[in-house]
Structure 1
Amino acid sequence: MTQELFGDLKSYSLAGTEQEVRFITSVLNLPRRSNILDLYCGYGRHAIELAKAGYNVVGVDATQSFLDIAYQKAIEEKVEITFQLSDMRELNYINQFDAVINMFAAFGYFTDEENIKVLELISKALRPGGLFLIDLLNRDWMVHNNLNRYWRHPSGEYVLSYKVELKQGMATLKRQLNNQVTGEKKQYEFALRAYSLSEMVSNLNHCGFKIITTYGAFDQRPYGMETPRMIILAQKE
């Protein structure tokens, strides 16, 4: 377990989420009621907190069981969020959002051509001048560090564990979701492309984005070879 990347297990779901949402709202710096797309929102951690902060949020994910948890939590928190089940390669929004966020290494699932297509669809979904915040694992940092992650849903009902292995530019993620109440376990394994910063900059420029800045962690430290994350803030030109 690498605490620098994933934080203390007991505080991750609360303090970790709070820090991440503070980071998101700070770097986006958008007025309340702005429209934000949380692309591959998972359990809705960020989407729900952003909605509570006054933003209009749409959460998209390709896994129904994740959206079911997110929807349940949104009801408990009394916030209105539109959740949509969709593959990111099938986004069909046009000039609708002030910002798109893609958090926790939720990019690179497909071929290079398809990944670029996803960036093009994100660009289409943004209004002119809209912002794109993408949070990736730092490939250079991953080479020298073992990446395992553990997350407990605030209700205590679900526990999620990740194991990440990097080989020849491909990161293999092994994920297990345990229901602490029913004992049900679901396992997923998938690979994603781990891009370097220069590759991502090239891809984003190709899709009509200009890079505003890069970060190495949610404390807004600058990106570097030794930072665990590679977070890019780009703007649609």
Structure 2
Amino acid sequence: MEPEFDAEGLFDDDYLYFYQDLIDPRSDAEADQIWDLLGLEPGAELLDLACGHGRLANPLAALGCRVTGLDSAGTFLEHARADAAARGVEVDYRLGDMRELPWTDRFDAVINWFTAFGYFSDEGNREVLAQVHRALRPGGRFAMELNNLANLLPRYQRDVVRTRGEDMAIDEHHLDPVTLRSHVRRTLIRGSERRTVRYSVRLLTAPELRTWLAEAGFREIEILGEDGERLTTDHRRMIVTARA
């Protein structure tokens, strides 16, 4: 049974209101890192899987990639298209489910960034990897960026509060050590409006993700930290690259 995942309820204008100023300032630098990490060249066909509001897809298009962005949150795609128009770049934005990609042997590279993986059951998450492998051309590259569990566990917090003036986003976390799912109840308070959204995300160790990728058909799997060096417990983020 798939865990409940309300993409529209979680990734909407409230998300951008509370979190956009935390993630957007580093978008151009991350796009440059992806360009170098995957050895991209102008004209490369790239899929930004779970592209959100286009914070990486649009800069990568500006660098010269032919970018397709897929996301299941329509609100985010509206923002992505508006930003692409403002930048004067073209990106093919699609509303869709990453477990059901409509492409075969299409892309030179696929990226999945900022913990945009793990929202489904283990079976569903592994199907995402199989779909990515099918969508890549032979020899194409895949890159993921997500939490480094070895670094996250010692600082895992039950409650995290994000404020903006008198408005608040309150996350109540519960980690299930048997399933390694982090269950979150997010309460959003903006003015007189208050609502709650629940979700969970599967946390993965580096060896486990390596095994999943290999079983999906990937090879040349590398596990790095956010600085591009070999992963250590000091890295907060984990970057995984693989070749189809």
Report the TM-score when normalising by structure 2: 0.79
Residue type at the aligned position of 1:170: R
* 1:86 to 1:151, Cα distance in 2 relative to 1, 3 A: farther
The equivalent residue for 1:3 is none
1:113-140 Cα shifts (integer Å, max 9, x gaps) = 1111111110000000000001111112
2:168, 2:53 → 1: CA distance?
Answer: 11
Deviates more, 1:71-80 or 1:221-230: 221-230
**Deviation of the 1:146 alpha carbon:** 4.2
1:50, 1:69 → 2: CA distance?
Answer: 16
* 1:162 to 1:116, Cα distance in 2 relative to 1, 3 A: farther
**Deviation of the 1:167 alpha carbon:** 3.4
Is the Cα–Cα contact under 8 Å of residues 211 and 232 in structure 1 kept in the other structure? no
The equivalent residue for 2:183 is 172
Residue type at the aligned position of 1:172: H
* 1:150 to 1:232, Cα distance in 2 relative to 1, 3 A: farther
* 1:11 to 1:203, Cα distance in 2 relative to 1, 3 A: closer
Q: How many matched pairs?
A: 219
2:21, 2:205 → 1: CA distance?
Answer: 31
Deviates more, 1:221-230 or 1:74-83: 221-230
1:164, 1:140 → 2: CA distance?
Answer: 21
Bigger CA radius of gyration: 2
The equivalent residue for 2:9 is none
Which residue among 7, 18, 24 is the counterpart of 1:13?
24
The equivalent residue for 1:43 is 53
Is the Cα–Cα contact under 8 Å of residues 47 and 57 in structure 1 kept in the other structure? yes
2:100, 2:213 → 1: CA distance?
Answer: 18
The equivalent residue for 1:231 is 239
Of all paired residues, the percent bearing the same amino acid is 33
2:195, 2:67 → 1: CA distance?
Answer: 28
The equivalent residue for 1:78 is 88
2:58, 2:42 → 1: CA distance?
Answer: 14
**Deviation of the 1:145 alpha carbon:** 1.6
Matches within 5 A, 1:150-165: 163=171, 165=173
**Deviation of the 1:92 alpha carbon:** 1.5
* 1:176 to 1:106, Cα distance in 2 relative to 1, 3 A: farther
The equivalent residue for 1:87 is 97
2:47, 2:111 → 1: CA distance?
Answer: 6
2:222, 2:163 → 1: CA distance?
Answer: 29
